[in-house]
Amino acid sequence: MDEQIKAMQAEIEAAAASITDSKEMYLLRKQYLDNKTGKISALMKNMRDLPPEERPAFGKVVNVLKDWALNFFTEQDARLKAAELAQKNAAEQIDVTMPASKHFCGALHPQTLIANELIDIFAGMGFTIFEGPEIENDYYNFTALNTPKDHPARDMQDTFYVSEEFLLRTQTSAGQIRVMENAQPPIKILSPGKVFRSDDDATHSPMFSQMEGLVVDKGITLCDLQGMLDVFAQNIFGENVKTRLRPSYFPFTEPSVEVDVSCFACGGKGCRLCKDTGWIEVLGAGMVNRHVLENCGLDPDVYTGFAFGMGIERIAMLKYGIPNIKMLFESDVRVLEQFRG
């Protein structure tokens, strides 16, 4: 009996020695261990032919063989699979520096990027967004903004007219009136949009975009204007940026101010960007003129407000270092792709 076992062990070891493939090894395993057809299983079945007193001893011996075989084949399988995996991995070496099969990544226009930044800043302060028409009537663009016909301030902006009454809006301030006519304070709006001026040279584009802000409520002061603009400037240009107000004139605000930010390139020491002044002009602002409030049916003795307006492209050019406004309207993909993300 023992010899028979030993012979079968030797037979298995000999057969396994020439096998290099885990699938073949599996077939060999089946030859011996398959429940129905396996040679070791057959030995168990033979047990029935033995006299009952021999059966326990026989059974024990066969079980030892079976355990040995199970163990043997598990080891063989692990060995072969490890080798096969190593071989497969070795065959599948790639050059990871080759180009990826990537998906395209698009980009928003700098005008949208800046507008979004501004909207996010001011939305957090309670501003909603209003968009007026690009073709405005003279009343909203000028007259209601305290700039009647032939007011010298109209010379500040060269206007495109499309009829006696209608023009391409020269300023998003036109939206102020449309909002104030239809709303009661508290009013906090932000009005982005395209504006048009008959100016076309190296530094001017006949179309650009502005962002107008308007706050009307009780007790609004010039200090509030500067406080809000500080938040804007620090968010857009950096934490350490300061604002400076200086007197100016717009027909629809009184007092009117130009707002400069301390130069974020040099920290105010003076450089090429700020033309050695330490300051960069970024927007115009002021307290809403009483006449404008009156034109919109609001009582200027009850309500005060401030308004500000900035050129979105100008902010984009300053922030991103774009040298020429014309680049923003030419759609050169080498320009546009720089704003991915």
Residue 136: closest CA among 110, 172, 101: 172
User: Where in 170-209 is the site for another protein (CB under 8 A)?
Assistant: 185-186, 188, 194, 196, 198, 200, 206-207, 209
98 binds another protein (CB under 8 A): no
119 binds another protein (CB under 8 A): yes
Residue with token string 């007219």: 161
H helix or E strand, kind and range, residue 218: none
Residue 205: closest CA among 328, 323, 326: 326
Bridge-based pairing of strands 128-129 and 166-168 is: unpaired
User: Where in 2-41 is the site for another protein (CB under 8 A)?
Assistant: none
163 binds another protein (CB under 8 A): yes
- Contact call for residues 190 and 116 (beta carbons, < 8 A): no
- Contact call for residues 25 and 77 (beta carbons, < 8 A): yes
| Residues in contact with another protein, shown as a per-residue x/- string from 304 to 333 under the rule CB under 8 A | x-----------------------xxxxxx
Q: How far is CA 235 from the centre of its chain?
A: 17
* Site stretch for another protein (CB under 8 A), options 23-31, 59-67, 162-170, 173-181: 162-170
Give the C-alpha separation, 230 to 239, whole Å: 9
Q: What minimum distance in Å lies between the beta carbon of 331 and another protein?
A: 4
Instruction: Give me 55's structure tokens.
Output: 């059966």
Residue 328: closest CA among 212, 208, 211: 208
User: Where in 42-61 is the site for another protein (CB under 8 A)?
Assistant: none
157 binds another protein (CB under 8 A): no
235 binds another protein (CB under 8 A): no
* Binding residue (CB under 8 A) for another protein from 9, 22, 31, 128: 128
User: Where in 236-265 is the site for another protein (CB under 8 A)?
Assistant: 243-249, 251, 254-257
**Cα-flanking dihedrals φ and ψ of residue 308, to 5°?**
-145, 155
29 vs 284, beta carbon nearer another protein: 284
76 vs 226, beta carbon nearer another protein: 226
* Binding residue (CB under 8 A) for another protein from 24, 44, 217, 265: 217
Q: What minimum distance in Å lies between the beta carbon of 163 and another protein?
A: 4
- Contact call for residues 264 and 237 (beta carbons, < 8 A): yes
User: Where in 275-304 is the site for another protein (CB under 8 A)?
Assistant: 287, 289-290, 304
Q: What minimum distance in Å lies between the beta carbon of 183 and another protein?
A: 11
DSSP state of 158: P
Q: What minimum distance in Å lies between the beta carbon of 261 and another protein?
A: 13
Residue 119: closest CA among 232, 237, 207: 232
Task: Count the site residues for another protein by CB under 8 A.
Answer: 88
Instruction: Give me 320's structure tokens.
Output: 């991103």
228 binds another protein (CB under 8 A): yes
